[in-house]
Structure 1
C-alpha cells in the first residue's frame, strides 16, 4: 500500500487541504492529528557576573573567631 501525506486544516468539521488534491469519492483516508507540543519547563539560570574580573570582589576570606 502506497502512502502519501497531505497537510490540511479542519473548517466547519471538514478537512480542507491547502492545495487541490484529486481524491475520488469513497477513497479511504486516515487522519493523524499531532498532539500539542509539551511546553518546556521554565529554567531560571543562576546569577552570573557580567565581567569575570569582578569575581575578585567575591573572594572568600577565612577569619578565625576571637578567643579561639
Structure 2
C-alpha cells in the first residue's frame, strides 16, 4: 500500500500507514504503557476503517477471514 500512496501523493505519501491498537484505546487505562511491537499493527486506511466499522472492533484475523470468503 505504501507504494500506491507514494505514486499518488509523491513524497507526502511515502511511508504512510495507519496503526491499529490490538486492545482498543477505550479499554486501556492511563497507567498502561503501549508496547509498539506487542500492541500495534500497521494496516492500510481502508482496512482500519473496516476494523472499526461496527460497535465492537473487529479483529484483524476476523477481517482477513471475511476477505477470504470473496
> Could you state the TM-score of these two structures normalised by the residue count of structure 1?
0.19
Which one has the bigger helix percentage?
2
Tell me: higher relative CO, structure 1 or 2? Use CA pairs within 8 A at least 6 residues apart: 2
**Structure with greater Cα Rg:** 1
